[in-house]
């Protein structure tokens, strides 16, 4: 017979500090990892829009990690240490999307910057893309604040008392986090001024649309109450469309 798992004890101050430091270290590490994929192909460091995009991403990620560690420690722990019950198929989709953006789209945008394959996009368009990228991160932040089970990978979090999130942006769409991330994939090439990089970015967005459909199917099948919620909130990513 399955035994109920007792609730986790309240996080200690030292555990919160550990999560804060880990979150900051993660953001800095990503800046170090991403930068060569952008600047080496471009052959230059004096690329203001690339720096603006990277700083926006890393700054938003750092702020989110710190906030989760302080206010939603259980979710911060869940996102930091994914249990083995996470769906491997979902991990593969995440890795594929990351590959398309980091290993393909970013270097392609850098090469485009170096060789001028794309006619120069107006700076105002690129700046608007950076600002929209930040707005998408704000939507992710809002979704996390309304969903204590916003895990990095798909899993039914029975050990944490998983329940349906229906407040905040979940009143309008079932997967607001994925909606924001999908939009961010498409905004990266625009911010970097590369129409060629839109090709792998669009492929990454397609991977996340597939991921949304698969996760939604899992939740309707395995998470109590989700099917009823799906009947109330019809749209997965874009209200009025899908």
**Would you kindly state where each structural domain of the chain is located, as residue ranges?**
13-232
**Token reading at 74:** 């259980």
Distance in angstroms (rounded) separating the CA atoms of residues 179 and 90: 16
**Token reading at 184:** 């961010």
Residue 201's closest CA among 212, 190, 214, 186? 186
- Considering the chain, what percentage of its residues have pLDDT values greater than 90? 65
| DSSP-derived 3-state class of residue 218 | helix
What does the pLDDT look like over 170-221, one tens digit per residue?
999 999 999 999 999 999 999 999 999 999 999 999 999 999 999 999 999 9
Distance in angstroms (rounded) separating the CA atoms of residues 37 and 143: 29
Distance in angstroms (rounded) separating the CA atoms of residues 208 and 194: 21
Q: 3-state SS of the chain: helix, strand, coil percent to 5?
A: 70, 0, 30
In the predicted model, what is the mean pLDDT of residues 1-6?
Answer: 35
Using pLDDT thresholds of 50, 70 and 90, give the confidence band for residue 1. very low
Q: pTM to 2 decimals?
A: 0.89
Using pLDDT thresholds of 50, 70 and 90, give the confidence band for residue 6. very low
Topology, domain 13-232? 1.20.120
Residue 7 scores a pLDDT above 70 = no
What does the pLDDT look like over 108-162, one tens digit per residue?
999 999 999 998 889 999 999 999 999 999 999 999 999 999 988 888 888 888 9
- The conformation of residue 173, written as its DSSP 8-state character, comes to -
Distance in angstroms (rounded) separating the CA atoms of residues 96 and 210: 12
């Amino acid at each position: 017979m399955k035994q109920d798992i007792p609730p986790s004890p309240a996080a200690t101050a030292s555990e919160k500090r550990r999560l804060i430091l880990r979150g900051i270290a993660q953001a800095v590490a990503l800046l170090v990892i991403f930068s060569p994929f952008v600047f080496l192909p471009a052959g230059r460091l004096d690329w203001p829009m690339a720096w603006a995009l990277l700083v926006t991403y890393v700054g938003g990620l750092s702020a989110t990690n710190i906030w989760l560690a302080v206010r939603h420690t259980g979710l911060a722990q869940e996102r930091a240490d994914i249990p083995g019950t996470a769906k491997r198929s979902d991990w593969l989709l995440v890795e594929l999307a990351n590959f398309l953006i980091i290993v393909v789209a970013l270097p392609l945008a850098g090469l485009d910057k170096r060789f001028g394959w794309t006619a120069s996009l107006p700076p105002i368009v690129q700046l608007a893309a950076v600002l929209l990228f930040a707005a998408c991160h704000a939507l992710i932040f809002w979704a996390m604040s309304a969903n204590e089970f916003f895990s990095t990978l798909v899993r039914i979090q029975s050990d944490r008392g998983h329940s349906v999130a229906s407040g905040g942006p979940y009143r309008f769409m079932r997967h607001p986090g994925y909606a924001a991330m999908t939009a961010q994939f498409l905004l990266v090439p625009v911010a970097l001024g590369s129409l060629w990089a839109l090709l792998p970015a669009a492929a990454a967005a397609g991977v996340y649309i597939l991921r949304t459909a698969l996760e939604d199917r899992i939740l309707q099948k395995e998470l109590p109450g989700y099917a009823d919620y799906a009947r109330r909130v019809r749209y997965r990513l874009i209200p009025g469309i899908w």
